[in-house]
Structure 1
Amino acid sequence: MNDHYDAQGEAPGISEHSGGGLRSYLIGAGFATILTLASFWASSTQLIYGPGVPILLGVLAIAQMGVHLVFFLHISSAPDQTNNFLALAFGIFVVGLVVFGSMIIMANLNHAMMPMNRLMQMQR
């Protein structure tokens, strides 16, 4: 038995489900195209209740991210993907921390700011 292969006869870190062949990329491109066209349709049609459009676009955007993670970045729940999944989770955490932290800081600064009419009176 060759030392470069694991017990199942595959190279370490490479399996049928984690690697991406041309077929996987084409399926992912098809799903991504369909979701993109659905987003353009949803934003331009009158068939959907107006206030529900942003929610639908958010759902389609999350689905698009899922397609990219699975078909192009090959992120899965397989045991050999633990490090990739943890790196993704940490990246999402950091981005969320920066975005929501910035929103909290800006809201606090806006609350502490002097009203514009009083600022204009002080300049006269």
Structure 2
Amino acid sequence: MTDVRYDRAPGDIPSEEARAWAPSEALVYTIGLLVALILTATSFWVANTSLLWPGGVGLGLAVLAIAQMGIHLVFFLHISTGPDSTNNVLALAFGLLIVFVVVTGTIWIVADLNDNMLMPSSDAMNMQMQRRSHE
């Protein structure tokens, strides 16, 4: 008989034989909450400290944000690479695609509007005034 182990996220409902080893749901959520709180406090510290190189603060906050998303996906949404989690992963990928399209489209539209709303340079204004005075 082959012992097949699948990748499971904390809090997934395990098989009967693995239930004895599985931590309780409350413990999994508590661990997730504590790690999320530590990451949040660290983010506030990184944003308000002068001990770090100023150029690295943005990178540090981005790394902490990605770690925070990972904690939420694993501990609270129970997203894993197991075969029973395929629909969750596909839904997550589709959601990320939609967010990417919306953010990219918004940046594109705002940049285009910004280019169209710029004031003409003083040279262009002088040429228009000269044209009007010659008419």
State whether TM-score is above 0.5.
yes
Give the alignment partner of residue 85 of structure 2, picking from 81, 97, 104: 81
Contact 1:20 1:74 in 2 (8 A): no
Where does structure 1 differ by over 3 angstroms across 4 or more consecutive aligned residues?
none
Q: Normalising by structure 2, report the TM-score.
A: 0.70
> Could you tell me how far apart the structure 2 residues matched to 1:35 and 1:58 are?
12
Unmatched segments (≥5 aa) in structure 1: 1-12
CA distance change for structure 1 residues 48 and 114 in 2, over 3 Å: closer, same or farther?
A: closer
1:20, CA displacement in angstroms? 6.8
Is 1:100 equivalent to 2:104 in the alignment?
yes
Range with bigger deviation, 20-29 or 57-66 = 20-29
Does residue 27 (structure 1) correspond to residue 31 (structure 2)? The answer is yes
Q: Which position in structure 2 is the counterpart of 1:48?
A: 52
Counterpart Cα distance in 2 of 1:59 and 1:70: 17
Residue of structure 2 equivalent to 1:7? none
Deviation at 1:38, TM superposition (A): 0.5
Q: Which residue does the alignment assign to 1:110?
A: 114
User: Is 1:63 paired with 2:62?
Assistant: no
Cα distance in 2, alignment partners of residues 28 and 20 from structure 1: 13
- Distance, in Å, in 2 between the alignment partners of 1:108 and 1:31 is 41
TM-score (norm 1): 0.76
Structure 2, gaps ≥5 residues long:
1-11, 129-135
Q: Sequence identity of aligned pairs in percent?
A: 50
The equivalent residue for 1:10 is: none
- Considering Cα pairs closer than 8 Å and 6+ residues apart, tell me whether 1 or 2 has the greater RCO: 2
- Matched residue count: 108
Q: What is the one-letter code of the residue matched to 2:61? A: L
C-alpha separation between the residues in 2 aligned to 1:78 and 1:24?
A: 18
Measured against aligned partners, the alpha-carbon deviations of 1:12-57 in whole angstroms (never above 9, x if no partner) come to: x84269x971111011011101101100111111110011111101
Q: Which has the larger radius of gyration?
A: 2
Residues of 2 paired with 1:44 and 1:69: CA distance?
27
**Conservation of the 8 A alpha-carbon contact between 1:20 and 1:71:** no
